[in-house]
Chains A and B, each alone.
Chain A
Amino acid sequence: MTRLPALQFLLAALLLPQSLLGAAAAPPRDLYFSEAIFWAEQGLYFDALQRLDTEIAQYRGLDEPELDTLYPYVHDAEFFVGDFELSYRMHHRAGRAITAVLEGNVPEPVRNEAAYRLARIHFQKGQLDDALRAIERIDGQVPADIRNDVEYLRANIYLATARPELARPILRRLQGVKELAGFSEYNLAIAELQAERTEQALSQLDKAGSVKAADEPTRAIRDKANLVRGTMLLEAERYEEAKLALDRVRLDGPFSNQALLSAGWADTHGNRYQRAVVPWNILAKRNRTDPAVQEAMLALPYAYGELNVHGRAAVLYNRALESFGAELSRLDASIEAIRDGRFLEALVREEIRKDRDWVIRLRELPDAPETFYLMALMASHDFQTGLSNYLDLEDLRKRLLRWQTSFSAFEDIIARRRDYYDPLLPELDAQFREVDSRRRLRLEQHQILSDRLQGLLVAPRPEFLATTEERTTSLQLDALRAGLDEETDAALIARIERLQGLLTWEVKTNYHDRLTEFYGHLQDSQVAIDELTRQYDAYVRVRQAATHSYVGYNIPIKRMRTRVEAGLTRIDLLMARQGRMLEQVAVRELESRVRRLESYEERARYALADSYDRATAAQAAFDQTPQNDEGAEGE
């Protein structure tokens, strides 16, 4: 194996976690988008995706999307969908979603951000050529908040594709960027290593190992830089410098075990074993499943042996043998439990997974050999991916099972609604028809009167607004007038004409008041019509709601039931395959531990025998010295 792949492993773990709200300066003021964030922030990406997918689909269907609250955030929402999909390990879909943004008609900064995100997805999946192509599409204006991230990713891609000469200038420019503190320094060191500039790499690791760290990721990268530097110096046999670097690694950090082990080896230079026992003594008391601790359990008595404290060495070899024996028994039990299928059963225990530290709790369970080594197995990326997939599948399975029972409940609700509404609706429809005919009649009348009003406004016709009494009187007067003779009844005719004149006076002089009154009545009629229309609309809505509450569901429910059943069958199959793979990975890892422990056990046995021999020889030599003989006799 060459050095380069090892360097790639070192680099690949160094992508900064992307903050969920990194893209948006403030939380969006769109309700459903914010609801999706509520789920995502709890790690419930399925629910987050379901919410945001629906919201975006509804937005896309709007006639006037600019009036929707999502409008100002729609690009952020699309990026968030990509982020959620990425977090939910749906890289293909995330890539497709971001590519769609990239190829859409979007402003330059949005397109560049999409290209960056796409490059990040490819990089995380190890698709380096695609990552390079995506990052090289960035051109022009880049949003200020991702400018450094873009450059950092670009440098990482160059490093992963073994082009340190391109990565180095970028990483140099990023030195001192606050949010990349430790990471840019460390990766520049890796670039120097790739370029075979070992001294510059060591100097850069020194810088990365002394950054001020306010958060855990930075503290961890600082520890890692010191450990790598210490390891390199140890390989170069520069023991004093190695020791200084290793001593800078925190005693409670994730790299402390390796640092303590290496620090001990650095101390053994020049036979300074009395110094080496200090870190190894600390290490030997730690978790005995850790390979570094197991090695320290052998290294410690070895150091005591070199210090000629053979009795102590023998005791410690014995202790190591006991510990290895117990560990081997536990490994055997774990392998057996995994082969019996108990490992997979334990992984999906609901009550354990509810806990934030569920992996640690699994290990602490008494009498649970199937999960004792889970923490150690989680160090493997493949195992982690497999386990996450297995747990996701279990989650999907539970969802589908829950939905399956929902269908029966839905059908029950629908049947009850049908039983309730079916007998009621004919009578309601009859009442509706009556309301409807009254409404239509009113509408017709109103229309006629409205037309008349319009006519009167154009050409005034006061007689149209005469009262019934005035009309009757006028007709009576006309009838009386028709029966009279002009010459003989002149006086009567004159009286009738005066009365007719009086009527005409009344009608004409009151015309405007009557017109106003007519208009008022027409308005009242409109109010009545509005009320009838409201009743009509309300009825239509209620009628529709009643119908919609139980009609038209049978086919969709049937179709979904079939899809759920098919999904469950596929999930069962996938879970079986994924589970088998997890078991294989776990068993292989545990078997390699067994082999290593057996080898340690064998060495410990030889070393123990050797210690006894040396102790006996030393005692014999001690006994044979003349002054000791005398002393012994004296005693």
Chain B
Amino acid sequence: MFMRNRIATLFLLLLALGGAVQAAEPSAQEMRSLDEQVQEIKTDVLAIAAELSALEEQLLFPSNTQVSVFVTLERPDAFRLDAVQLSIDGNLAAHHIYSFKELDALSSGGVQRIFTGNLPGGEHELSVTVLGKLPTGKEYQQTEKFTFEKSIEPRLLGIALAGPSAGRSAIALNDW
């Protein structure tokens, strides 16, 4: 009984390996047209997003007060990053707990914008606390303090994390 159907089953298998389910196909033309319209609306929404982002930056973070802080992972193998806490002039500015996806993204060379805010011109103090776990399983926590100057230009600061084995450059402040 089953032997009779076997060859047909095997032939269908060849098709199934390609990942296509032929039976469940509405009009291909309709699907293509819909797909194209979805692509168009994506383009439109991206254009709105670009304009809105420029407006938002102008309105909420004008260049004369804008300060942004970015995080990079210089040596992803040195430790597992769990969280970063930033304080500016003693006030908590950001506290970020990292997801696996975010850690993967940082390990692949991605740079995370952890804070954008407004500060008056002059000298400020940035305190960075890093929490994580060492390859040995030991908890790791380190705090470093830096001073920086805010002028009328937007200020972009990069925090490079290299882990405790990097000694004094475990937490370094770079000017972007």
Residue interface mask B1-13, A partner, CB < 8 A = 1: 1110011011101
Closest chain-A Cβ to B48's Cβ sits at a distance in Å of 5
A592 x B105 contact (CB < 8 A): no
- Report how many residues on chain A are interfacial, defined by Cβ distance under 8 Å: 94
The answer to the question of B115 belonging to the interface, with a C-beta cut-off of 8 Å to chain A, is no
Contacts of A545 in B (CB 8 A): 62, 64
CA distance A393 to B45 in the complex (A): 10
Interface residues on B, range: 35 or more
A residues in contact with B3, CB < 8 Å: 265, 268
Q: Mark B57-72, 1 if CB is under 8 A from A, else 0.
A: 0111010100000101
* Residue B92 lies at the interface, judged by CB distance under 8 Å to chain A: no
Q: Which residue of B lies closest to A552 (CB)?
A: B58
A406 to B38, CA, bound (A): 24
Closest residue of chain A to B11 (Cβ to Cβ) is A6
CB of A197 closer than 8 Å to a CB of B: no
Interface 1/0s, chain A 575-600, versus B by CB < 8 A?
A: 00110010011101100100000000
A367-381 interface code vs B (CB 8 A; 1 in, 0 out) = 000000000010111
The residues of A that contact B176 with a CB separation of less than 8 Å are: 31, 69
Q: How far is the CA of A584 from the CA of B111 in the complex (A)?
A: 42
A403 to B44, CA, bound (A): 14
How far is A592 from B21 in the complex, measured between Cα atoms in Å?
11
Give the residues from 422 to 459 in chain A that come closer than 8 angstroms, CB to CB, to chain B: none
CA distance A385 to B17 in the complex (A): 18
Measured CB to CB, the closest approach of chain B to A603, in angstroms, equals 7
Assess whether A584 is in contact with B26, with CB atoms less than 8 Å apart.
Answer: yes
CB distance from B153 to the nearest CB of A (A): 12
**A39: chain B residues within 8 A (beta carbon):** 105, 110
Q: A231-B10, A556-B55 are in contact. Are A34 and B111 (CB under 8 A)?
A: yes
CB–CB A224/B39 < 8 A: no
Q: Give the distance to chain A from B105, nearest Cβ to Cβ, in Å.
A: 4
Chain A nearest CB from B136 CB (Å) reads 27
Contact yes or no, B110 A382, CB < 8 A: no
Interface-side segment among A137-145, A512-520, A562-570: A562-570
In the bound complex, residues from chain A placing their C-beta under 8 Å from that of B13 are 231, 258, 262
Contact A10–B18 (Cβ < 8 Å): yes
When the two chains form their complex, are residues B34 and A9 in contact, meaning their CB atoms are under 8 A apart?
Answer: no
A299 at the interface (CB under 8 A from B): yes
User: Among the listed A35, A88, A228, A403, which residue makes an inter-chain contact with B52, where contact means beta carbons less than 8 Å apart?
Assistant: A403
B15 x A6 contact (CB < 8 A): yes
| Known contacts A380-B24, A403-B48, A90 near B39 by CB under 8 Å | yes
Residues of A within 8 A of B (CB): 6, 8-10, 12-13, 20-21, 26-28, 31, 34-35, 37-43, 46, 49-50, 53-54, 57, 69, 88-93, 224, 227-228, 231, 234-235, 255, 258, 262, 265, 268, 295, 298-299, 302, 356, 377, 379-383, 385-386, 389, 392-393, 396, 399-400, 403, 406, 410, 413-414, 541, 545, 548-549, 553, 556-557, 560, 563-564, 567, 570-571, 574, 577-578, 581, 584-586, 588-589, 592, 603, 607
Q: List 11 A-B contacts (CB under 8 A).
A: A12-B18, A31-B156, A39-B110, A41-B101, A46-B45, A57-B50, A228-B17, A381-B19, A396-B42, A560-B51, A560-B52
Chain B positions within 8 Å of A, measured between CB atoms, are: 1-3, 6-7, 9-11, 13-21, 23-26, 30-31, 34-39, 41-46, 48-56, 58-60, 62, 64, 70, 72, 100-102, 104-106, 108-113, 152, 156, 158, 176
